[in-house]
Structure 1
């Protein structure tokens, strides 16, 4: 179905402009992550007491923190961790929610009721509060964050996929597949699921923004990535006490978070337009 006239964005090489711009920004962040050792001017954990709280200059374009560490170098190395937070923090919930939603929507009945009641229980708690509770139990760290995201974040994908499967399982091609005696797993994962993933894929790109901000917030609270590792949320927290006289400690990592979140938002908008025109 074509997009309504007047609402279609510009296209570059046949793709929506937001998608191209977002992918370009993500490619830039990926390049920074892969070549951080070559691009960063300093070791991200090297401390220079003589350069403590130095403002932005030619030697330190983003200034230094209260330990004399170069902010630019730490921000570049932090791309590696924050990309992991945003991407892996979505991959695990996406996989779990997709499987649960497919099974619940296809079989219905008691199976659907049990899974959806579990979804209701998870949704009864505020997202961030439940995340913090799980991480507190497991202990701070990147692994705990991913486990918490997997345990909490799958419910949205399960609901999206289930709704699509409920519609698709009554379609002609699904009825024909059952008439031919195909097994349930084949019908679910080879015939129904590929046609039910469009909305989930677009939502996943938007969800990367939420996961990125959640990861930064949890690191800010001291429950995520632990110092002296370079991570944008930690860097913002470290600069909080010096915001009046050394604004650059928090400002540049904060801008990096906004830039990466903006890139994922552009990709989500572009994918929504691209995939929407094909449905």
Structure 2
């Protein structure tokens, strides 16, 4: 029996396809749950996330407060639910702008080459000469603490990976026959870059964006933990972990549940990225 026939008989490909589909669906479903919580926070959260009640401060998980309360008597479950809004913004918006900037610059540099590509690569080398988190903290320190400063810092630093990825693929694809034919037909460079080449190179960047969302989420939580991101009393998971650190041995629930939320959302993006990678055949 030939190898293709043996594979078909054993059912390897259907099982592999089912695994691919299962990972993609599971990641999308988990992410959709967080999106639902973000939009439905006013309806789902049992309490006001910033309302303080000294009478119930530092109470453990109970029927009235399933995730317990913090040192100000605020309901942890409500703060976790409301924090979904902020952390989803961090993960999504923090990826969109670097994606757009990096994709555009990488496309132009890879297509034109020459001096344009040389200048682009020197700019990339300058940014990569500094550790990512150190450069982020420096920019935010200059702009001032806040979510907008974080997004600006991500846009200025995070585009490099997307640009390098697109540039590498563009250098290969621009010499293919269909590009030569498009040039012969008199198509403009802009049309060739963004209508013929970019659709064939962007799949890898979309997959990378899912993994990058995990890094952005963790970076946002870390910067909020350091006091340079979202400012209290806004409910944000990194802020909640920082607020619960002094009570980690006596009121573990303050840090546990927002920490688990960060890990779970990161896992959702990771599964979605893995499913998309298999779907687009990026690893093959």
Q: TM-score w.r.t. structure 1 length?
A: 0.95
Instruction: Indicate whether 1:217 and 2:222 are aligned.
Output: yes
Report what 1:20 is aligned to. 25
What number of residue pairs does the alignment pair up?
275
Of 40, 48, 55, the match for 1:43: 48
- The structure whose residues are more often helix, as a share, is 2
1:198 positional shift: 1.3
SS in 1 for 2:158: helix
Report what 2:192 is aligned to. 187
Of 238, 244, 260, the match for 1:239: 244
1:244 positional shift: 0.8
SS in 2 for 1:264: helix
1:16 positional shift: 1.8
- Structure 1 unmatched runs, 5+: none
CA 1:277/1:108 → structure 2, altered by over 3 Å: closer, same or farther? closer
Report what 1:251 is aligned to. 256
Instruction: Indicate whether 1:55 and 2:60 are aligned.
Output: yes
Report what 2:278 is aligned to. 273
Q: Deviations along 1:12-42, whole A, 9 cap, x unmatched?
A: 5x96211100000000000100100000000
Report what 1:29 is aligned to. 34
Verify the 8 A CA contact 1:9 1:17 in the aligned structure 2: no
1:8 positional shift: 8.0
Following the alignment from structure 2 to structure 1, what is the Cα–Cα distance between the partners of residues 221 and 282? 34
Verify the 8 A CA contact 2:80 2:235 in the aligned structure 1: yes
Following the alignment from structure 1 to structure 2, what is the Cα–Cα distance between the partners of residues 27 and 90? 18
Following the alignment from structure 1 to structure 2, what is the Cα–Cα distance between the partners of residues 33 and 122? 34
Report what 1:130 is aligned to. 135
Of 152, 157, 174, the match for 1:152: 157
Give the CA RMSD over aligned residues: 1.8
Structure 1 residue ranges, 4+ long, deviating more than 3 angstroms after superposition: 5-12
CA 1:58/1:206 → structure 2, altered by over 3 Å: closer, same or farther? same
- Structure 2 unmatched runs, 5+: none
Q: Deviations along 1:71-103, whole A, 9 cap, x unmatched?
A: 000000000000000010000000000000000
Verify the 8 A CA contact 2:87 2:236 in the aligned structure 1: yes
Report what 1:113 is aligned to. 118
Following the alignment from structure 2 to structure 1, what is the Cα–Cα distance between the partners of residues 279 and 58? 47
SS in 2 for 1:115: helix
Following the alignment from structure 1 to structure 2, what is the Cα–Cα distance between the partners of residues 9 and 238? 46
SS in 2 for 1:16: helix
Instruction: Indicate whether 1:172 and 2:162 are aligned.
Output: no
1:52 positional shift: 0.6
1:11 positional shift: 4.5
Following the alignment from structure 2 to structure 1, what is the Cα–Cα distance between the partners of residues 69 and 21? 40
SS in 2 for 1:42: coil
Verify the 8 A CA contact 2:277 2:283 in the aligned structure 1: no
